[in-house]
Structure 1
Amino acid sequence: MDFRLPANCCMPICSDWSDICGDEFICKEQYFDLGPICLSSCQFNPSLYCDSLFFELGVRFPPSLEKAVASRRAEFLAGRYLAKQMLQKDGNDDLKDFEVIVGPDRCPVWPNGVLGSITHSQNIAACVMAQLPCADYYLGIDAEKILTLETCQEIESSIVTSDEMMYMKEVGFSDEVALTLIFSAKESVFKALYSFIGQYFGFEEANLVKVDREKQILYFSLSPFLSNKSGIKKILNCQFSIQGEMVMTLVFDKVNS
């Protein structure tokens, strides 16, 4: 697909809310029309969260959040708020009142004919959407705070192979950025392909085979299991953006292009 993930779509983590958001829960909303897809992102202030914000922002409070902590409720609200705003931007009366609920598998349920994906990390939320045949396209987005070196050492073996880390280091990424990018990219791959697979699958099912730092693209080969289930027989591209302590990754393409 001929588009690039905007460099400023991935906002840095906010450290001083008085300067950024004032007394607003949602702030610094951004909207990007990328041609085949649209992307929206925002910052939110978890310390200002209260349950009444769901009503104020026009988002239904789901039963699945009844026992959730406030920080989980805050990030859920920010993500669903962006999804609702994007559906309303479309101008389709059938979509403006649609509620992106939580499905039985805990994944967002989108309207027929709409592809979508939501992510949130720290005080950042983002949503990406496209009105395309869901059986013909795949779409996934993820944002992560760059992992600490200590965390990388603890989880590296469960996320990446030595070859994958080698590819990242060859183009100059530190261990922390390399592992975070691969982790985020594989999360985006999972979100993009889950509807085709219909079951959970591990990170080992997608393997990094090439890195283009200039174009900000990671290239993944899929295991025979994923390839056969999804119908995707090609190398899968994942775009990325790095801003401060945050990374964002995006997977989008046609199944057979």
Structure 2
Amino acid sequence: MAKNLFDLTGQTALVTGSSRGLGRAMAQGLAEAGATIVLNGVDAARLKSAADEMRAEGFTVYEAPFDVTDEDAIKAAFAKLDAAGVAVDILVNNAGIQLRKPIVELSSDEWRKVIETNLTSAFIIGREAAKRMIPRGRGKVINIGSLTSELARATVTPYTVAKGGIKMLTRGMAAEWGEHGIQANAIGPGYMITDMNQALIDNPTFDAWVKARTPARRWGRPDELISTVVYLAAPASSYVNGQLIFVDGGMASVL
């Protein structure tokens, strides 16, 4: 039994926002654990490139090029997977955007865009996945939160609100779907080396702040999320539900 606790053979994982960055790394890790992967993104060319890279390594990969803020597109994507006989056993709600601006300068449209991309999308995609998981009596939902699921920082309030919402959405999912054999958990990455953070990485003052503030004294790497996402996707976490696990080099634990 123990040797199978982290084996995802026969499982299919949909990872949103997975043509690059954290999503791409997590998709790679899930594939290496045995899962079939459904990659998602809005840039069809970049999505195909990522899928082809994984196929070249021998993995089975499907492409689902839809906008996570478009409810009709989400429903159509799931219908297409249904028609192809592809059942999503594992959902990783990773897609997200960042907008750095003081609250008093934010427009309502900017606020809504961040909330809809980072939070509402996880609700809609999670709902559509659960409709299919519940009859099967099993499933894994992994929502990607953030340090800002717990901690605020100036100029990223919409992101903070969305990621705080991810924490509570995860708990709501666990409360409603646990009896159906579904585990819903969240991961809270710390400051990671990604395209979205490149401007911060290149800023000497911010770079020094991150390294001083983080007990590990460095930025995290996308591949350092792999062990946690595989654990939450695998049988090993069958009695773990409604939790937020930080992968942040210790930042959330210190003043």
Give the TM-score band, short-chain normalised: 0.3 to 0.5
TM-score by length of 1: 0.33
Considering fraction of residues, name the structure with more strand: 1
TM-score by length of 2: 0.33
Considering fraction of residues, name the structure with more helix: 2
